[in-house]
Structure 1
Amino acid sequence: MTDDIHFHPTPDAGVGELSAVLKATLPLLTQLLEAVPARVVVIDVNERLVWANQEFFRFTKLHPKQVLTQPIGRIIGDVAYAGYDAVRARLASGQTVAWEGWTELAGAGRRYMREHLVPVDVQAGVPQATVVMSLDLTELKRRDAALSAKVAELEATEALKSSIFDNAMAALVSTDETGHVVEFNPAAVAMFGIAREQALGRSVADVLIPPRLRDAHNAGMARVTAGGEQRVMGKRMVMAALRADGSEFPIEMLLWRTAVGGQTYYTASLFDLSEREAAQGEIERQREALRQSEKLTAMGSLLAGVAHELNNPLSIVMGRASLLAEKMSGNPLAADAQRIHEAAERCGRIVRTFLNMARSRPANRSEVALNDLATAAIDMLAYVLRSHGIAVVLDLLPGLPPVKADADQIGQIVLNLIVNAQQALGARDHGRRLTVATGLAPMTDGDRRRVPRVWLRVRDNGPGITADLRERVFEPFFTTKSEGVGTGLGLAVSRSIARDHGGELTLQDDGEGACFVLQLPVSGEPEASETEPVPLADTDEVHARLLVVDDEAEIAELIGEMLSGAGYDVMTAESGAVALAMLDEARFDAIVSDLHMPELDGAGLWREVRRTRPTLARRMLFVTGDTLSPTARQFLDEARCGRLNKPFSKAELLARVAELLS
């Protein structure tokens, strides 16, 4: 609206009536004011409401006779009216004022408004009329907080300017009845990337409609022109639009028709939905990733339960095979017994890996052998690698120093790297090769103050990773795999774990295929226990008397035979209660007990022994299938006793007992 348009109440006109000159010169403007989805009012020099569009009456639910010629303060209420004190001074100086914020409107309550106030015909510092354009954004402000930033950005790009059409919040495109563009506001220029001068006079179909939709658009225009059904008029619709660069994007459109001077015009209010749909798509992708994670968690729990049940029979198989090999020493069948033992031991490593993956507990850093983690991962995935025709090369440096780390977390990194390599090799027809190597990073004279580091390298001869994706592979939810394969979290989580351990996970440019390298600092000296066991007085280790407690007779018998064969004097008890009775009858130097037993379990036995024989309580070794239970973990941490996980070898058992008696 320009300054040469005045609102003058004429002497013979009714109070608050617009001038005849304005009415005669602004028919199209009046129609547009009625169609714009905002409230537009005109206030005269005495601050009385002299004109308002239908949107104003729809919002206030007031009849024109109730408000026209009435003071604006009485209509909007004292609280809202008081908020305009600072605005009046700026209007008096001829400034156009735009503001937005919360206000208290009479009859409507607390509302969030955006208004544009344009002074008209400022004389002697007093505007003779003021045009106020108001938009109620209350519901928009109450929407989901995640979309508020998007909405604010959209509103900012569609701010009102100096004229009604240019100040529309949305892109406004007007055409004549033949479909040729007659108006193209700045918001439309920004949205479609085409200058106003280039759009005017052209068919709207050529400017904004994608080629695949033009036939349908032209048919709809012809139907409406011929007086047929108006299917889209006045309805909010989501559709595809065309940018100047040829790309398509989603918009929301509201179309209305205006008749002026016998001519028909169509105006479309358009909103770009690209960012909203992109945000919704990202949310959906994250939800899908979460669903996949939940499925994997459920599968992990199931596998953990199955693995836990396998521990006892595996312990028996391993132990009996070991004893059988010893008894048949020199016999050809001893080799067969040894092979049975090795196969059972491999099963035990796989079971232990499953349990470590499923275990939900805080990080527990201890001495970890990187070579053992690599071997366990290859054992676990041996069938998958073999069935995919992948030749595996293990190049592990003997005597590699241990690292101070959480074995489960570092094992997860190794598994992720091997699984990724196996999936990448699926793109290769033949000659698939996977190499897992470990080593010690060399130290130079300049590195004397650095902590020595060990490394593990997983290399495949697959298609590799292009240079532009090398750094992105570590981004969360980014994946180069096909849809439905992977969540895009493996490498991101693995790098985070590595850095949390003071190390790093990198992708090396190593020629053919992909090569990931994990580096970790080596551990320091083992931490001393707060409570050292009291040495045995005048007791020879070979003749020490041990009590074995287990409710499974085969496990108790197996442990007893292993210990007896090593020269220990062994007695067995089938329950915690029986063990207590035996302690009253005889002296024992140490106790090897199962943790989970009916009635009096290992924890209860330890508490009773600690009460009556505190020295012996520190020489108890607990054998358990797993420590998945938080209660079991809490007890073992509290007791500070030795522990031995099933399945175990004879060497492991004897080593732990020797530590107990040292």
Structure 2
Amino acid sequence: LLRIRELEEQHRNLLDNAPLIIFRLDPETGELSFLNRHAERLLGVPVAEALRTPGFLAEAHADPEGVMCFEDAVARARLGAPSSSYEARLRRRGGDAITARGTVYPLVSDRGRVVAIEGVLADVSTEHAARTRLIQVDRLSTLGTLAAGVAHEINNPAAFILLGLDMLDRLLRGPNVRMEGAAASSASELLQELRDSIKRIVDIVRDLKLFASPPQPEGSRRTLTDANRTVESALSLTRGQIIERAQIVKNLSEVPPVLMEDGRLGQVIVNLLVNAAQAIQKPSSKLEAREQTVTVETRSDGETVEIVVTDTGAGIAEENLPRIWAPFFTTKGPEVGTGLGLSISREIIERAGGTIVAESPAPGSDPPGGARFVISLPAAGRAEEATPSVSPVPRLVSKRARVLVVEDEASLARALSEQLGRVHQVSVAPSADAAMGMLAGGQRFDVVLCDLRMPGMSGDVFYTHIRESDPALAQGFIFMTGVGFGADVERFLASSGRPLLEKPFSAEDALSAIAEVVSSNRAAAPGSGA
């Protein structure tokens, strides 16, 4: 008898200390007849209270979908049938809900009668949060891919609109149009505002693509980055989130450029700005929003460039300050944050030879509160030294050049033809295949203005064919693209050595590029005397 009691005690200890909620239900009433002690530790409800509470486990499920899954599993078990496991949120007394995976099954006697219903609920909150964050990371990667496509679809019509505005401006200034002084001034201002608006749309799409694109591999090329321009771009992406909670304060000083992977500094600043906005409780009135601030500053001592983001929000608990850089650490719910932003931000900054530190409460805050993040990066040199001097590009050449425009967007091709046709002899091909046919038919050209991304044969494949069959014509290629630089495009352009026009561009940009290519090729031609 003593041995039996010892085994019973061991069995109960095993059940009570298992890291699971283990329960038994009466098959007739569906009420609890057993609940282990771990349920008390996990849910915060004493076992005795749970056992005398009708429908306790159903009520412990936080969402209607969870209640439905639990009740369906119990109903199937009453019939002697097993059911698939399910995931649901469980309420915790005095704490946040947890995610649990539930399994309910019948205990069937030798005679086939259901004598009890048992089940387990395992806490899978960590697994669920990690899975949710990985899904968000995958969505971010997908966003980068979609942004590239959106950039192409936006930049092509934007290029047409920009060229169209140039055409309209030229028409309005023509000899056959008479406008009074005030009307002419208003028209000119309107055209400029339209140009600026188009460029702002393009800038936002470009910034979104850079922010969402994946990090480049170790050792990838770094470029001179304007910290102030990057701050402005980051603010354009996050302004909507910030202004509903706080005022934006900018204190941007003249600072030297820094060397960063393309777009990465913007990614870091966007992350800090979003965090700053989320740290401030959403106000109930505009007056409350005016009392809160998100401040961005830039400063430099000539050796380093500092970017400082300060908020007047809830701040960071002292015990959490060392942990905020750890991957997947977050004090937000998985639906708000991935817990990866600050970890990735620190990696980006450190790879650029810099540091990023967090302070909370923010120094100088009264009353103490908020948080301050300071990015420190090595300066690449004074701005005027970092910008290489460019020789003046000849706007016109002494002879009309024969230009082939290879562009699948009909409206853009037509606008280019009309604008460039003022200076050069222009032909248009709607695809690389059509251009190949024109060349095979004996047509000759000095310059080929070719889109990189087209249905069918792409611009880089077209160029490769021409380089093999007509190396001289290959030296006349100028590429156009509505998509930001990617690794493949960058490698191709580096190997080809051909110039690139990023859409949208003005007619003057295209004419300058054509003039430079024609002049360079003529100077290099045999017998040119160069």
Q: TM-score range by the shorter chain?
A: 0.5 to 0.7
Query: Given residue 322 of structure 2, which amino acid in structure 1 is its aligned partner?
Result: E
User: Is 1:430 aligned to residue 274 of structure 2?
Assistant: no
| Deviation by residue 1:212-243 (Cα, 9 ceiling, x = unmatched) | 3357899xxxxxxxxxxxxxxxxxxxxxxxxx
Could you tell me whether the CA contact under 8 Å between 2:420 and 2:511 is conserved in 1? yes
Q: Deviation of residue 319 (structure 1)?
A: 2.7
Task: Give the alignment of 1:18-57 within 5 angstroms.
Answer: 28=2, 31=3
Task: Point out where structure 2 has 5 or more consecutive residues left out of the alignment.
Answer: 18-36, 53-119, 174-180, 521-530
Distance in 1 (CA, whole Å) between partners of 2:307 and 2:171 is 40
Alignment length (residue pairs): 394
Q: Following TM superposition, by how much is the alpha carbon of 1:415 offset from its aligned partner in structure 2, in angstroms?
A: 1.3
Q: For residues 108-507 of structure 1, what are the structure 2 equivalents within 5 Å? A: 212-214=46-48, 280-325=124-169, 328=172, 331-332=184-185, 333-360=187-214, 362-363=216-217, 364-386=221-243, 388=244, 390-398=246-254, 400-427=255-282, 429-431=288-290, 432-440=292-300, 442-443=301-302, 452-482=303-333, 484-507=335-358
Partner AA of 1:344 in structure 2:
I
In the alignment, structure 1 segments of 5+ residues that lack a partner are 1-26, 38-164, 174-186, 188-204, 219-272, 444-451, 529-535
Instruction: Classify the secondary structure of the residue corresponding to 2:294.
Output: strand
For 1:623, which of 463, 468, 480 is the aligned residue? 480
Contact 2:247-2:293 within 8 A present in 1 as well: yes
In the alignment, residue 439 of structure 1 is paired with which amino acid? Answer: R
Q: Which secondary structure state, in structure 1, belongs to the residue aligned with residue 314 of structure 2?
A: coil
Q: Which of these residues, 458, 469, 490, is aligned with residue 601 of structure 1?
A: 458
Query: Which whole-Å CA distance do the structure 2 matches of 1:403 and 1:628 have between them?
Result: 19
- Counterpart-to-counterpart distance in 1, 2:345 and 2:239: 22
Distance 1:459 1:541, change over 3 A: farther
Greater Cα offset, 538-547 or 495-504? 538-547
Counterparts of 2:386 and 2:497, CA distance in 1: 15
| Alignment check: 8 A CA contact 2:242 2:274 kept | no
Q: What one-letter code is carried by the residue in structure 1 that aligns with 2:188?
A: A
Match of 1:641 in 2: 498
Q: 1:476 to 1:650 in 2, by over 3 A?
A: farther
Supply the distance in 1 between the matched residues of 2:233 and 2:448 (Cα, whole angstroms): 31
Tell me the SS of whatever aligns to 2:253: coil
Structure 1 543/466 Cα, relative in aligned 2: closer, same or farther at 3 Å? farther
Q: In structure 1, what residue type is equivalent to 2:335?
A: G
| Counterpart position of 2:416 | 559
1-structure distance, mates of 2:326, 2:416: 50
> Larger relative CO (CA 8 A, sep 6+): 1 or 2?
2
Percent identity among equivalent residues?
29
Counterpart pick for 1:510 among 360, 363, 386: 363
The answer to whether the 8 Å contact 1:346/1:379 transfers is no
Assess if the C-alpha contact under 8 Å between 1:307 and 1:354 holds in 2. Answer: no
Question: In the aligned structure 1, how far is the partner of 2:147 from the partner of 2:342?
Answer: 23
Structure 1 residue 635 displacement after superposition: 4.1
Q: Residues 555 and 511 (structure 1 numbering): CA distance in 2 closer, same or farther, change over 3 Å?
A: same
Q: Deviations over 1:320-345 (max 9, x none)?
A: 22443455467220100111111111
The answer to whether the 8 Å contact 1:453/1:522 transfers is yes
Distance 1:614 1:557, change over 3 A: same
Q: CA deviation at 1:654?
A: 5.5
Distance 1:651 1:460 in 2: 44
Cα distance, 1:457–1:620 mapped onto 2, change above 3 Å: farther
Distance in 2 between the 1:558 and 1:347 partners? 20
Distance 1:526 1:613 in 2: 38
- Calculate the aligned-residue CA RMSD, in Å: 4.4
The amino acid that maps onto 1:289 is R
Deviation at 1:615, TM superposition (A): 4.3
In 2 relative to 1, CA 282–557 (structure 1 residues): closer, same or farther, beyond 3 Å?
Answer: same
Q: Give how far 1:505 is off.
A: 1.7
In the alignment, residue 164 of structure 2 is paired with which amino acid?
R
